[in-house]
């Protein structure tokens, strides 16, 4: 029988244990923390390498250091993600959440949620964080209760709506915090993707690489109605969102698509900070190789090199994930 230890405190555990007897951590669920996988504040200045004080300012040059939320990372081996503020935005209004359900040695499901706060609304970063937290928790609860990935995806979207709606101020309904949402549930039965808005999911599988999602934008609607890409792009507000998550949005079911279990590949879930520069599955696949952590880091780096004009979030999941337990690069 394979040795098992608590990922939090390292104490030995039995394979049949549900919780660590030492620290109480669930051994059947690993997830990013509620509030986001925020990194620790830097100890040295990004500008002059001077010491950073407890308030987050450099003791040598006085520069305020980037907030932890400006760059968030996580790596669970079978799934990894990076969210970066980019080069132009003053804050990171994207967020991401992830969970691995089941024993670390034999996970049953991987759940991913990425949200992009709508920049024209108030507290867009709070909307994105609230939505990923609510959706992830509901999807995991549903899976653990025995619901299938489709039902769990729909329930997760509803939970995000309910949570973000509560952020709205009655005095400014037109500026209600809002965001896009894309989720993915990978199990032995395949991959289920749900979305509202224009955050995307791609399937990277050689010649079968493709974009799984279709944007909820005016541009996409015009193309679906028969206009060419050029004609649709020429319309005013062509890339304005047609659907989003927020108090001023019309609640509805998410779009849902699936990938069958007999089609190996790599799932990439991302915000528009990536696909603005790498819009096709082929262009993303050309820069995606190695472990999930490497794929997420290199695609984020590529978006930064190409301009970094928006917040960038990338999460990668190789499928089937049972064969990718190591966090190291191949």
Span 157-162, average pLDDT: 97
Average pLDDT for residues 7-16, to the nearest whole number?
Answer: 70
pLDDT-wise least confident of 61-75, 252-266, 276-290: 61-75
For the beta carbon of residue 261, count every other beta carbon within 10 angstroms: 14
Q: Which two tokens stand for residue 287?
A: 């820069």
Reply yes or no on whether the pLDDT at 49 is more than 90. no
- Mean pLDDT (the chain) is 89
Contact 267, 187 (CB under 8 A): no
> Which SS3 state, helix, strand or coil, does residue 152 take?
helix
pLDDT at 6 > cutoff 90: no
pLDDT of residue 38: 67
The C-alpha atoms of residue 159 and residue 139 are separated, in whole angstroms, by 9
Helices (H), 91-227: 124-144, 149-165, 218-224
Residue 150, φ and ψ in degrees, nearest 5: -65, -50
Task: Give me the sign of the Cα torsion angle 174, 154, 19, 187.
Answer: negative
Q: pLDDT tens digit string along 104-122?
A: 888 999 999 999 999 888 8
Is-contact 78 292, C-beta < 8 A?
Answer: yes
Q: Give the largest Cα separation in the chain, rounded.
A: 63
Compute how many other C-beta atoms are within 10 angstroms of the C-beta atom of residue 11.
13
What integer pLDDT is reported at residue 23 of this predicted model? 75
* Residue 328 in this model has a pLDDT that exceeds 50: no
Coil/strand/helix, residue 275? helix
Q: Which two tokens stand for residue 70?
A: 């400006």
Q: Residue 84 above 70 pLDDT? A: yes
pLDDT at 53: 86
Is the whole-model pTM more than 0.75?
yes
| 8 Å CB contact between 313 and 270 | yes
User: Quick one: which of 131, 142, 238 has its CA closest to 182?
Assistant: 131
Task: Identify any residues that bridge with 97 across adjacent strands, giving them in sequence order.
Answer: 113
Task: Say yes or no to pLDDT of 322 above 90.
Answer: no
Domain 68-319 has CATH 3.60.40.10: yes
Per domain, the residue ranges of the chain are 1-31, 68-319
pLDDT at residue 2 in the model: 44
- Greater model confidence, 152 or 62: 152
Tokens of 118: 């709508």
pLDDT of residue 325 exceeding 50, the answer is no
What is the rounded average pLDDT of the residues 233-253? 90
Residue 97: is its pLDDT beyond 70? yes
Residue 41's pLDDT is what?
64
Q: What element of type H or E holds 282?
A: helix 281-285
Least confident of 18-27, 67-76, 80-89, 158-167: 18-27
Look at residue 119 and give its three-state secondary structure.
coil
Q: Quick one: CA dihedral 55, 58, 62, 65, positive or negative?
A: negative
The reported pLDDT for the residue numbered 44 is 75
pLDDT value at residue 166: 92
Question: Mean pLDDT, to the nearest integer, of 153-173?
Answer: 91
Name the pLDDT band for 40 (thresholds 50, 70, 90).
low
Phi, psi (degrees; rounded to nearest 5) at 96: -150, 155
Cis, bond preceding 320 (omega within 30 deg of 0): yes
Banded model confidence at residue 7, pLDDT cuts 50, 70, 90: low
Choice among 41-45, 97-101, 188-192 with the minimum mean pLDDT: 41-45
Mean pLDDT confidence for 69-83: 93
Residues 6+ positions from 212 with CB-CB distance below 8 Å: 193, 200, 201, 202, 203, 257, 259
15 pLDDT more than 80: no
Distance, in Å, from the CA atom of 300 to the CA atom of 314, rounded to the nearest integer, reads 7
Q: Return the percentage of the chain with pLDDT > 70, whole number.
A: 90
The reported pLDDT for the residue numbered 117 is 95
- Report how far residue 112's alpha carbon sits from residue 70's, in angstroms, rounded to the nearest whole number: 20
How much is the pLDDT for 323?
47
């Amino acid at each position: 029988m394979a040795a098992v230890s608590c990922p939090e405190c390292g104490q030995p555990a039995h394979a049949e244990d549900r919780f660590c007897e030492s620290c109480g951590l669930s051994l059947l669920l690993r997830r990013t923390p509620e509030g986001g996988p925020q990194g620790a504040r830097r100890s040295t200045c990004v500008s002059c390498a001077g010491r950073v004080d407890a308030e987050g300012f450099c003791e040598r040059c006085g520069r305020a250091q980037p907030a932890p939320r400006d760059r968030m990372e996580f790596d669970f081996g079978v799934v990894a993600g990076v969210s970066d503020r980019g080069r132009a935005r003053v804050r990171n209004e994207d967020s991401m959440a992830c969970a691995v359900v089941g024993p670390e040695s034999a996970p049953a499901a991987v759940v991913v949620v990425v949200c992009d706060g709508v920049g024209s609304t108030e507290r867009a970063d709070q909307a994105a964080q609230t939505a990923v937290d609510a959706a992830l928790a509901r999807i995991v609860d549903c899976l653990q209760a025995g619901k299938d990935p489709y039902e769990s995806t729909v329930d997760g979207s509803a939970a995000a709506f309910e949570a973000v709606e509560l952020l709205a101020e009655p005095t400014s309904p037109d500026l209600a915090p809002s965001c896009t949402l894309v989720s993915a549930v990978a199990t032995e039965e395949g991959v289920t993707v749900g979305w509202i808005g224009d955050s995307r999911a791609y399937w990277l599988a050689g010649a079968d690489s493709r974009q799984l999602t279709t944007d909820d934008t005016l541009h996409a609607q015009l193309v679906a109605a028969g206009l060419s890409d050029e004609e649709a792009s020429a319309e005013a507000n062509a890339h304005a969102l047609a659907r989003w998550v927020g108090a001023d949005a019309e609640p509805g079911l998410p779009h849902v698509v699936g990938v069958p279990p007999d089609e190996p590949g790599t799932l990439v879930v991302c915000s528009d900070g990536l696909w603005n520069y790498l819009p096709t599955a082929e262009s993303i696949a050309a820069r995606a190789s190695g472990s999930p952590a490497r794929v997420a880091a290199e695609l984020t780096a590529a978006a930064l090199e190409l301009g970094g004009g928006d917040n960038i979030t990338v999460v990668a999941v190789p499928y089937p994930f049972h064969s990718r337990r190591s966090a190291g690069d191949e």
